[in-house]
Structure 1
């Protein structure tokens, strides 16, 4: 939006007074909200998906969110208001500008009635602050579900700035909110994705959209429809990632790797996206910025995967995949609670090994480890959940948060007893259907998957500790000859530093070796 000349304020007295009065508006919202959430039990807070935005992060979001938005009237929407911290930060940022609008309208949606008294007090405080700055402020507090509001369903422009920290929890595909926004549903939706998708169409041309969410929306099939809806309506300008899963929400037990996304509605197509990282709130002011080509960040295919790279992706020149090499990835078929009758504590005449996540480490399988139920009966009744005991790469589907690598891939060459094997559901395994992987192929592929090259790639494209089968299928791989060459040097149980040296040497990369 272009800045109109009539929006300029020439009186210095209201400006000075307004700037002084805005101090504390965001803190006022945060304090009232925190007082309420501390009364909630942990389970109730999780059910509501209510995690308040710290004032420092709210201001960081708002400063960029208001950039370029000018006019006689500026409309601010917070679709999941909570205590109204983000709306307060947006108003504070607008009032702190030299060129202010004549009027600010703020619309807050909040379904928790316990927050309404605090929001009314905030509205009164914000009106006072705006009046002292020479700006009229109108506040609308709507105690209804934003996703079922007629504006969200009809997708009509209603805001110049949308700023949000939406709730996080999964909803059923038959939920009224999922049905109302079926264009954004693929599989089992998370409600925060529906908020992102629905609000993307409500921003007026040239307006701004800003969300703080988990990173999980940037990849995976479940959020593909959400990404398409967002990118149909918005141009992503910048992204900030909090690398710690708990340091961004200092007052809550949030173990999510979060990110902030800023976008412009129907703006000119950017050829670069500004990407920044910090561990949490404390080092936020020191976050370094990098402007990266948009086509390296946002995929051009139908999935529209978003990769948050801060350095060169060394896998960019690799074109092979598991399918190219005649390999397949599957998930372990043993679901413990469904297989109780087949699981055994001790070895028996008709049992075979059952591998769990705890048996799988970098470049090695360790079995037994005196874990409960690490044996499974091999008979006709249990046969459907057993796999052939042949060479394969076995991977953890989830990595511990303290693990140095996103992938934990083990070399398995068929050394355990039995013609079949049990693999628990928290494992993935890579094998050659209709054939057998050679030991060199297993060693080479496991080493490559454990390498820091792959780790860096996955940290860019996946924000969670889960590495799913669809991501493994798309992962760029070296040629089969290069994998065999890596496998010819590597051995089971090799350290990650040694793995890195071998992989980078075979791939012709000159990188300083880092242990871990």
Structure 2
């Protein structure tokens, strides 16, 4: 039956323009992924009547996968599926697929709600996860729409308790899915992994962590393992949770090593408090036991940049917004403008002989004091070996300037008081070490280095950082291997 549904879904995808599906944030789940998600539910102790919710159901493959698994196990169980879907183009396919199931299993029933899943429940959703004003379900499964909306969109206004700025529909669907769960009910969702860290998703994480327990996390080594008919750039994950406030002692972490057929899965148990950090309110995604050791080591440090009077900030100049202020030749009325391409092998190399290396000094908001900084690239390519790439900037190497500027594709670490050269060199040791690069990859699956996340990273104390700086200055060896050795010796 799933083969038939997949064939019909693929025919739908082929005849529907991607631009039209993008309006709804549609990415269809493969049969292999749907079956795997259905397998994550614990079906022991099911009642004789089970309710299933699939919001943003698309072709219905997720709801059908778990419904068929239940009915194959015990055909006497009454299974009710409720699907939310308001895309008129896919509704005929959804209803046709659900009819196929109904013809096969007499105890299967379904209802398709052709309404906006979020807006239609806004009067019930008030932050009380256990309110009974709306229908509650035993099992919730979903591949929610992935689409950014404005902060004043009706869906965002309906769920202020989880929103921060302009939200994405996928985590609004996940929040409402939690709301729609019965107490002790189970939910399995496939989403981007971006929600697990950073300030943007903080309210959602608090909502999820405070009212559910994460039981399983599945990570994909390849983005193409998930949506085989789609071009998906986001790192994707599957998570399973239970609606209960008591947390388990462990979370099962698994990864797919193959081509999306789930025939080769590795898994291990991770301590719950290591994955779900009570200190940072982040959800860490270690892919193996080596990653757990990284989290344990970094977690032993008790300081952060802000606690030591420092902070990572984002570069000031968005160059395409101020083209009239950009200049290619040095003059008395401009200052150096540093780009990520100026960061080379741990140092800042300027000038690089490129266009627009200077910016007019007429706009004060684009200027920063010529002080000692650690520059860090904001973006790296997926193929690059290191995510954290930094360069030491020393003001004495750029005499004659009271101010400089930075393009917004780099970050810089500054202090409440100017950083000493030893401090900057010590910070370089941290950011150029293997363990901190590994830590950041566990923390964030994207290629962007986020200042909010860096500012939350545990780091050694200031004396240790300065000692590492002195050791680096003495050795004159900027290699990753040497930074690893210095970090190990200074923080033993």
Asked if these proteins are the same fold (TM beyond 0.5), I'd say: yes
Q: Does 1:503 align with 2:487?
A: yes
Q: Does 1:239 align with 2:217?
A: yes
Q: Does 1:150 align with 2:121?
A: yes
2:48 is matched with 72
Q: What displacement does 1:349 show?
A: 4.1
Q: What displacement does 1:256 show?
A: 0.9
2:109 counterpart (138, 142, 149) = 138
Contact 1:162–1:203 (CA under 8 A) maintained in structure 2: yes
Q: What displacement does 1:226 show?
A: 1.3
Q: What is the TM-score with the length of structure 2 in the denominator?
A: 0.90
For 2:313 and 2:123, locate their aligned partners in 1 and report how far apart those are by CA, in whole Å: 39
2:421 is matched with 439
Contact 2:151–2:167 (CA under 8 A) maintained in structure 1: yes
1:482 counterpart (458, 464, 480) = 464
CA 1:397 to 1:187, structure 2 compared with 1: closer, same or farther past 3 Å? same
Instruction: Identify unmatched segments of 5+ residues in structure 2.
Output: 126-130
**CA displacement 1:256-314 (0-9 Å, x = unmatched):** 1111110112375312111122356447433222222212221325x632112342121
2:384 is matched with 403
Contact 1:69–1:206 (CA under 8 A) maintained in structure 2: no
2:452 is matched with 470
Between 1:305-314 and 1:41-50, the stretch displaced more is 41-50
Q: How does 1:241-390 map to 2 (within 5 A)?
A: 241-266=219-244, 268-279=246-257, 281-282=259-260, 284-300=262-278, 304-309=281-286, 310=288, 311-312=292-293, 313=295, 314-361=297-344, 363-378=346-361, 381-390=362-371
Q: What displacement does 1:485 show?
A: 2.6
SS in 1 for 2:270: strand
For 1:140 and 1:151, locate their aligned partners in 2 and report how far apart those are by CA, in whole Å: 20
Q: How does 1:73-222 map to 2 (within 5 A)?
A: 73-97=49-73, 99-131=74-106, 136-150=107-121, 153-154=124-125, 156-222=134-200
CA 1:114 to 1:152, structure 2 compared with 1: closer, same or farther past 3 Å? farther
**CA displacement 1:186-211 (0-9 Å, x = unmatched):** 22211111001111021112321010
Q: What displacement does 1:488 show?
A: 2.4
Contact 1:235–1:269 (CA under 8 A) maintained in structure 2: yes
Contact 2:213–2:241 (CA under 8 A) maintained in structure 1: yes
Contact 2:122–2:158 (CA under 8 A) maintained in structure 1: no
1:424 counterpart (395, 407, 418) = 407
Between 1:192-201 and 1:218-227, the stretch displaced more is 218-227
**CA displacement 1:383-441 (0-9 Å, x = unmatched):** 321111221101122222122223222111122353321101222111223x3222221
**CA displacement 1:194-232 (0-9 Å, x = unmatched):** 001111021112321010001111111221221222234
CA 1:68 to 1:228, structure 2 compared with 1: closer, same or farther past 3 Å? farther
Q: What displacement does 1:66 show?
A: 4.7
Contact 2:51–2:80 (CA under 8 A) maintained in structure 1: yes
2:393 counterpart (412, 415, 432) = 412
2:128 is matched with none
SS in 2 for 1:78: strand
SS in 1 for 2:89: helix
Q: What is the TM-score with the length of structure 1 in the denominator?
A: 0.86
Contact 1:71–1:101 (CA under 8 A) maintained in structure 2: no
For 1:377 and 1:268, locate their aligned partners in 2 and report how far apart those are by CA, in whole Å: 57
Q: How does 1:57-68 map to 2 (within 5 A)?
A: 57-68=33-44
CA 1:420 to 1:189, structure 2 compared with 1: closer, same or farther past 3 Å? same
Q: What displacement does 1:108 show?
A: 1.0
Q: What displacement does 1:101 show?
A: 4.2
SS in 1 for 2:337: strand
For 1:69 and 1:45, locate their aligned partners in 2 and report how far apart those are by CA, in whole Å: 39
2:436 is matched with 454
Contact 2:71–2:77 (CA under 8 A) maintained in structure 1: no
SS in 1 for 2:7: helix
Instruction: Identify unmatched segments of 5+ residues in structure 1.
Output: 1-24, 509-516
2:29 counterpart (26, 40, 53) = 53
